A and B are shown apart, each in its own frame.
Chain A
């Protein structure tokens, strides 16, 4: 984890900072981190750990409960649940990464324009953000999907746009905070262009709060993405996706409960881990934030 500091603390090596950071994490946060790292494995290598092909239909093995051959059982088409969950992890994590990146990309220019330049632009942008934030996240995603059409790519866009206002506000308030510092005034006095100020001073101080909101935002993205999948508006068959798997298993809840239960539990555990991680990150980063001037 490379932390960007202001120019006032130049001498601490990065590695020592990182280890010191890890030491400050509570057991819960460590567990969250471990879960997150486990989830990252399918993100990079989608089917590396999967024992079977997630889309392979196996008619003679339908509805098998968890067993030695299929650790998490099979679904209504005989597909291995564990493999599908791993494949679905890739889908959900990708959705998280892409939508968070999209939100960050949207929020950076808007937030900085708002917070640093202020004026009428700030008012207009903030009212716009208010309007968008008035919609519940899932509703906003549904509206965007109804315009763009269902599918994984569109779900990523929908979630990215839907969460952007929250990020924009964070960027804006960070920019506002930095803007008032005396060293900014000093830099301007010696003739630094706005671009240089933004790049050298404002941006580094926005990154920390962005990291915090990104980690929680990641969890939100996964929940909204799974909700869209549950409604059938995300990735289409045969792609495995947590939300879709929960939805498909609804008909069989009484007898073949594992088809819905395991994906549901995965969503819960992942979101919990990310939330704890986000909280821990905020706790760890905040003192640093206070310390940078």
Chain B
């Protein structure tokens, strides 16, 4: 009898692993090589907003809170809890204890204050795209584990910004090398520590053995699994893919549709798709320059392009993964605040022609419309081939002469800022719908702002201001729905397709996931199978 019992227990114990525990246990160790498509400018979260830099410093620096991609709620990370004052202007964070920076100094409320002050120090010129610029007032150290952030006025996207852009740097680290050089010698609290950076070649990080403060949304606690991460900077897409195929690296981002199609079916590789919330691949329509100052012309553009076809021709292989879908409004469908009711235009070239005829744009002998002696000529610049050529051909069908120039991103940006082009490409992945104010609020027209439609519409401004300060989520949602609908009625922007993150990883890589924006990898849970 006892032997039977022993046998039974033995079987249960041995059988347990087979009972639904399908994956092998994570393995410690190994070196991961990750391809970046551009070079970081500085590894300094207080001062930099460049995507390649952000990808790297997401591993070195931790934020106070984090947005869980599963349910889109904000969860604790370095802060254990927080309260918001009734007027929405004061946030009080209680901080985790026992957290240390890579240089051994303690993380505390003084460090948080230091970071917020540094980000908003006008002398340092931070390019932090989502930070509370203009809203931040000051921070108070209430106790070593309690910090109070004061805003000048309520700002609803604050926690969202805190989950992405406000990452904690070591005050001792900054004081040691100075503000400008800290980006070359980053010190944070993250699961990986900085080792070296060979400019234009690679950045290497190694595991932080003392790491013990991962948020609950990760699958394990304690130090990360991988020993070493190397970010290699490879600008050419085909070179990146070639390096993946030869085994030189294990993860590559920004894969071309054709390479993706070829390799997704290869058992040695696995596709990873991060659907990006925020603004899809949108073109700002310059309303201050003829002929796009005419509402009829703008609406005709919205009716006249076949987004379905464009998405299929340029991004065909991605469609089956739900990525790079046609976009009909200002926010991508996975964004909180997306409003289906604002998708006012579908492909209808007959309607486009009707609208143009009614507005007095008559077709000339060469097929291009003209009104009052002026030909309907649209000028725009982009930095990538593909969509521009297709849009050019579609708009030609409805009688618009489109002149495109494909140049590097800097040149295109210059022309955008000067208001010389009629259309400006503008993707913006963000988890909060407030990203729209970056493109459409009048305060962002001109100067360093991204309002390339050059709209100064007080009605729209009012909606954005309300949306930014409204703390009730249901009401906020309504405000943004109204803003989207209004902006689409006036055709201030021309949405084309969504812009997602399509990457390829080697089948050996396990546990790699992207954050709520779909673009930044979390390497903490990642491990390498043998």
Contact A57:B390 (CB < 8 A) given known A62-B313, A256-B258: yes
In the bound complex, residues from chain A placing their C-beta under 8 Å from that of B508 are: none
How near does chain A come to B406, taking the closest CB pair, in angstroms?
A: 5
Specify which of B314, B390, B405 is in contact with A236 (CB 8 Å cutoff).
B405
Given the complex of chains A and B, what is the CA–CA distance between A252 and B406 in angstroms? 18
Given the complex of chains A and B, what is the CA–CA distance between A250 and B258 in angstroms? 12
In the bound complex, residues from chain B placing their C-beta under 8 Å from that of A76 are: 313-314, 386
Residue A204 is within 8 A (CB to CB) of chain B in the complex: no
In the bound complex, residues from chain B placing their C-beta under 8 Å from that of A252 are: 256, 258
Q: Which has the most chain B C-beta neighbours within 10 Å: A150, A237, A248?
A: A237
Q: Determine the residue in chain B with the shortest Cβ distance to A251.
A: B256
Specify which of B238, B259, B389 is in contact with A238 (CB 8 Å cutoff).
B389
In the bound complex, residues from chain B placing their C-beta under 8 Å from that of A238 are: 389, 392-393
How near does chain B come to A47, taking the closest CB pair, in angstroms?
A: 16
Contact A251:B390 (CB < 8 A) given known A77-B313, A236-B406: no
Q: Which has the most chain B C-beta neighbours within 10 Å: A78, A238, A251?
A: A251
In the bound complex, residues from chain B placing their C-beta under 8 Å from that of A254 are: 238, 258-259, 262
Residue B403 is within 8 A (CB to CB) of chain A in the complex: yes
Q: Which residues 281-319 in B have Cβ within 8 Å of A in the complex?
A: 309, 312-314
Residue B407 is within 8 A (CB to CB) of chain A in the complex: yes
Given the complex of chains A and B, what is the CA–CA distance between A195 and B405 in angstroms? 47
Contact A232 B256 (CB under 8 A): no
Residue A255 is within 8 A (CB to CB) of chain B in the complex: yes
Contact with B along A64-77 (1 / 0, CB 8 A): 00000000000011
Residue A55 is within 8 A (CB to CB) of chain B in the complex: yes
Q: Determine the residue in chain B with the shortest Cβ distance to A77.
A: B389
Q: Which residues 143-158 in A have Cβ within 8 Å of B in the complex?
A: 150
Residue B141 is within 8 A (CB to CB) of chain A in the complex: no
Contact B388 A237 (CB under 8 A): yes
How near does chain A come to B344, taking the closest CB pair, in angstroms?
A: 25
Given the complex of chains A and B, what is the CA–CA distance between A255 and B263 in angstroms? 12
Q: Determine the residue in chain B with the shortest Cβ distance to A57.
A: B393
Task: Categorize the interface residue count of chain A.
Answer: 20 to 34
How near does chain B come to A52, taking the closest CB pair, in angstroms?
A: 14
Specify which of A57, A63, A251 is in contact with B389 (CB 8 Å cutoff).
A57
Contact B258 A255 (CB under 8 A): yes
Q: Which residues 232-274 in B have Cβ within 8 Å of A in the complex?
A: 237-238, 256, 258-259, 262
Contact A255:B393 (CB < 8 A) given known A59-B313, A150-B405, A236-B405: no
Residue B404 is within 8 A (CB to CB) of chain A in the complex: yes
Give the total number of A-B pairs whose CB atoms are below 8 A apart.
54
Contact with A along B371-402 (1 / 0, CB 8 A): 00000000000000110111011000000000
How near does chain A come to B386, taking the closest CB pair, in angstroms?
A: 7
Specify which of A63, A248, A255, A256 is in contact with B385 (CB 8 Å cutoff).
A248
Q: Determine the residue in chain B with the shortest Cβ distance to A55.
A: B393
Given the complex of chains A and B, what is the CA–CA distance between A77 and B309 in angstroms? 11
Given the complex of chains A and B, what is the CA–CA distance between A237 and B383 in angstroms? 12
Q: Determine the residue in chain B with the shortest Cβ distance to A255.
A: B258
Contact A237 B309 (CB under 8 A): no
Given the complex of chains A and B, what is the CA–CA distance between A256 and B229 in angstroms? 34
How near does chain B come to A262, taking the closest CB pair, in angstroms?
A: 18
Contact B390 A237 (CB under 8 A): no
Contact with B along A229-266 (1 / 0, CB 8 A): 00010001110000000001011111110000000000
Given the complex of chains A and B, what is the CA–CA distance between A73 and B262 in angstroms? 20
How near does chain B come to A55, taking the closest CB pair, in angstroms?
A: 7
Contact A237 B385 (CB under 8 A): yes
Specify which of A77, A232, A255 is in contact with B406 (CB 8 Å cutoff).
A232
In the bound complex, residues from chain A placing their C-beta under 8 Å from that of B259 are: 251, 254
Contact B256 A236 (CB under 8 A): no
In the bound complex, residues from chain A placing their C-beta under 8 Å from that of B392 are: 237-238
Q: Determine the residue in chain A with the shortest Cβ distance to B256.
A: A251
Given the complex of chains A and B, what is the CA–CA distance between A76 and B385 in angstroms? 10
Contact A253:B404 (CB < 8 A) given known A57-B389, A77-B390, A238-B393: no
Contact B407 A232 (CB under 8 A): yes
Q: Which has the most chain B C-beta neighbours within 10 Å: A59, A78, A150, A253?
A: A59
Given the complex of chains A and B, what is the CA–CA distance between A255 and B265 in angstroms? 15
18 contacts between A and B (CB under 8 A): A55-B393, A57-B389, A59-B309, A59-B312, A77-B313, A77-B389, A150-B405, A150-B407, A236-B405, A237-B388, A238-B392, A250-B238, A252-B256, A254-B238, A254-B258, A254-B262, A255-B258, A255-B262
Q: A77-B389, A150-B407 are in contact. List 15 more A-B contacts (CB 8 A).
A: A55-B393, A56-B393, A59-B313, A62-B313, A77-B390, A236-B406, A237-B385, A237-B392, A238-B393, A248-B385, A251-B237, A251-B256, A254-B238, A254-B258, A254-B262
